[in-house]
Amino acid sequence: MRHLELMEQRLSQRFRDAEMALLTAFHGRASEGNARFRKIEADHSNLDAATSARLAAIEERVLNLERRLPPSAAAQTLGSPPQR
């Protein structure tokens, strides 16, 4: 009977060791995935900021061009019918 108890203890210990090894491996993979996700998130944020800056620059250039146009031409660029 004692022999079976010792086998059961050794087997339980091996299962615990295997479980710990799996948990450690999964934790390492999850950490790598989180780091990649944070990088993608930062890249996306930078892209949004760059796009917003470019759009603001384009809007400013269009506004400057519209200021140079005569009033009738400026109205046409905004979608209004031509004035007569």
More confident residue, 81 or 59: 59
* Pairwise CA distance, residues 80 & 84, whole Å: 12
List pLDDT tens digits, range 30-75. 888 888 888 888 888 888 888 999 999 999 999 988 888 776 765 6
Q: Where are the domains of the chain?
A: 2-71
Contact 67, 60 (CB under 8 A): no
List pLDDT tens digits, range 5-23. 999 999 999 999 999 999 9
- pTM for this model (two decimals): 0.43
More confident residue, 66 or 84: 66
**Counting runs of H as helices and runs of E as strands, what totals does the chain give?**
2, 0
